[in-house]
Amino acid sequence: MTMARLERDFHFTRKHFDYFRRLSQDYSGIVVADNKYEMFYSRLTKRLRQLSLNSFDDYVSYLESHREEEFTEFINALTTNLTSFFRESHHFQFLQNQVIPQLLQRNQRRISIWSAGCSVGEETYSIAITLAEAAQQHGFSWEVLATDIDTAVLDQARQGVYLLERVKNLPIAQKKRWFLKGKGKNEGYAKISRELRKNIRFEQLNLIQGFRFDKPFDVIFCRNVVIYFDRDTKVELVRRFASSLSSDGYLILGHSESLHGISDQFRSIGNTIYERI
Ligand SMILES: C[S@@+](CC[C@H](N)C(=O)[O-])C[C@H]1O[C@@H](n2cnc3c(N)ncnc32)[C@H](O)[C@@H]1O
């Protein structure tokens, strides 16, 4: 037994870990490897403290008796929400330099994008800024749907308030145009302008459950989400993405994700960008 284990505040066994990871995987599709044992301990310990519970056995009983309310908190505690503004910037350049001109050339006057697994919204607002800046120049309308399984990150995304530190690398003109700098008690924060927020819809959506939309999207961003899913879950999800895209729409994945061996409905055009065939 390691020192870290001896010093634990709560007794956390392999049986607890297996129980929690099974619950989480069945619901979210995220496959939890053995090396996530410590991460589960530290994230769920916070929840035990918030609830003033004395043991993981008590937490299991609590989870079972308060299934409706606690399950959301349980999932929120276990998701990994790492993100940033204009992360993997080539994807936004692709949107600006290829997708938008291509659609405008075809006389399409409304562009619709889905940010699937949007976390706290930095990806979504990066898409929105790219669209809004092009729309100012070329005069078209746009909308973004932003979804996540985690209700806590969605609340943050909806508010659109970020520490100045998070936006420090954005060009000054962009910050001035799309953010309001907080004053007084909001000092140190920047809020996304209403002009951007009004074209974005935030909704909770679990990607491993069914989804269907009235109108197809031109682009789906689903970056750094499917990396944790098993193969069958990916195959099914990508099949659904294909039917939610316009006939030659694009699916954009994260830097370490690929459709190789997963789908023949897309062709890779490089940089983890896929075009629907
Ligand atoms: C690492 S973040 C990626 C955020 C953003 N796409 C980016 O690349 O910057 C992964 C997000 O996927 C969400 N997620 C995980 N499983 C999901 C599922 N089954 N359905 C919807 N969202 C999920 C998590 O809650 C988390 O916010």
Residue of 43, 118, 119, 123 to test ligand 1 pocket, by largest number of atoms within 8 Å of CB: 119
Same domain, 69 and 118: no
Same domain, 224 and 146: yes
Q: Are 104 and 142 in contact (CB under 8 A)?
A: no
Q: What radius of gyration do the chain's Cα atoms show?
A: 21
188-226 pLDDT, tens digit each:
999 999 999 999 999 999 999 989 999 999 999 999 999
35-87 pLDDT, tens digit each:
999 999 999 999 999 999 999 999 999 999 999 899 999 999 999 999 999 99
Q: Say if 210 falls within a structural domain.
A: yes
Q: Which long-range contacts (CB under 8 A, 24 or more apart) does 126-130 make?
A: 126/85, 126/86, 126/87, 126/92, 127/92, 127/95, 127/221, 128/196, 128/199, 128/200, 129/174, 129/178, 129/196, 130/92, 130/95, 130/96, 130/100
Query: 216-246: b or e for each residue (b if 16 or more CB lie within 10 Å)?
Result: ebbbbbbbbbbbbbeeebbebbbeebbebbe
Q: Say if 179 falls within a structural domain.
A: no
221-231 pLDDT, tens digit each:
999 999 989 99
* Domain end (from 78, 105, 140): 78
Strand partners, 142: 111
Calculate how far, in angstroms, residue 151's C-alpha sits from the geometric centre of ligand 1: 11
> Is 218 annotated in the active site?
no
Give the whole-angstrom CA distance, residue 228 versus residue 66. 27
Same domain, 139 and 215: yes
Choosing from 21, 47, 148, 150, the catalytic residue is 148
By residue range, what is the domain housing residue 64?
3-78
Same domain, 64 and 98: no
Give the whole-angstrom CA distance, residue 107 versus residue 147. 28
Instruction: Answer whether 206 contacts ligand 1 (Cβ < 6 A).
Output: yes
